[in-house]
Amino acid sequence: MRHILLPIFVVRPYERGIRETFGKYSKFIKPGLGFQIPIVQIIRVRDVREHTMDIAPQSVITKDNVEINVDGVMWVRPNPDEESIKRTFYSIDDWKRAIIQLAMTNLRQEFGDLTLDESLIAREKIAENLQRVLNTFAVEWGLIVSKVEIISGN
């Protein structure tokens, strides 16, 4: 996220933004050249490209009480429509940290519901379930989780 304080600004094709006037939302900003009144208005811009995010390695206990180390990766991006961009600014403080923490918690839960043998066979199913759960919350924050992969589970 970046803040623009100059009177003339450029929003790049892969960005979307909002204009705040006296600290209150006033306009959705699309890519292109724009103007603002310094001090009175501020432009906040969000990159809407896909972000690759690591799900940190962690030890989890399976249903049959076996400890395994799992980690993963997910692809997340802010939804570029007006309402979603507003949500990325006003509904959550640090969306990247929040989605990673949510992924870690749900990854532990997914593996905890399966035995070791089931978890080794069902990686794709686990990834699909995790993506579905993450998207449930991500929509509230103006995000889209486009893919989740489980890298290791041994």
pLDDT at 153 over 70: no
Burial class (CB in 10 A: 0-12, 13-18, 19+), 73: middle
Evaluate whether 17 touches 43 at the Cβ level (below 8 Å): yes
Query: Are residue 16 and residue 74 in the same domain, yes or no?
Result: no
pLDDT tens column, 72-124: 999 999 999 999 999 999 999 999 999 999 999 999 998 988 888 888 888 89
Query: Are residue 8 and residue 74 in the same domain, yes or no?
Result: no
Query: Are residue 79 and residue 131 in the same domain, yes or no?
Result: yes
User: Tell me, what's the pLDDT at 120?
Assistant: 85
Query: Are residue 34 and residue 103 in the same domain, yes or no?
Result: no
Query: Are residue 119 and residue 147 in the same domain, yes or no?
Result: yes
Query: Are residue 25 and residue 56 in the same domain, yes or no?
Result: no
Using 50, 70 and 90 to split pLDDT, how confident is the model at 151? confident
- Among 12, 31, 47, the domain boundary falls at 47
User: Tell me, what's the pLDDT at 122?
Assistant: 87
pLDDT at 134 over 80: yes
Evaluate whether 72 touches 150 at the Cβ level (below 8 Å): yes
How many structural domains comprise the chain? 2
pTM of the entire predicted model:
0.84
Residue numbers of the domain that contains 11: 2-47
pLDDT tens column, 26-60: 999 999 999 999 889 999 999 999 999 999 999 99
pLDDT at 154 over 80: no
Query: Are residue 132 and residue 113 in the same domain, yes or no?
Result: yes
pLDDT at 4 over 80: no
- Position 25: which residue type? Y
Query: Are residue 35 and residue 79 in the same domain, yes or no?
Result: no
Query: Are residue 28 and residue 11 in the same domain, yes or no?
Result: yes
Query: Are residue 64 and residue 99 in the same domain, yes or no?
Result: yes
Closest residue by Cα to residue 60 from 99, 18, 114, 8? 114
CATH number, domain of 95, equals 3.30.479.30
User: Tell me, what's the pLDDT at 1?
Assistant: 66
Helix/strand/coil (H/E/C) assignment for every residue in the chain: CEEECCCEEEECCCEEEEEEECCEEEEEECCEEEECCCCCEEEEEEECCCEEEEEEEEEEECCCCCEEEEEEEEEEEECCCHHHHHHHHHCCCCHHHHHHHHHHHHHHHHHHCCCHHHHHHCHHHHHHHHHHHHHHHHHHHCEEEEEEEEEEEC
Query: Are residue 11 and residue 57 in the same domain, yes or no?
Result: no
Query: Are residue 105 and residue 66 in the same domain, yes or no?
Result: yes
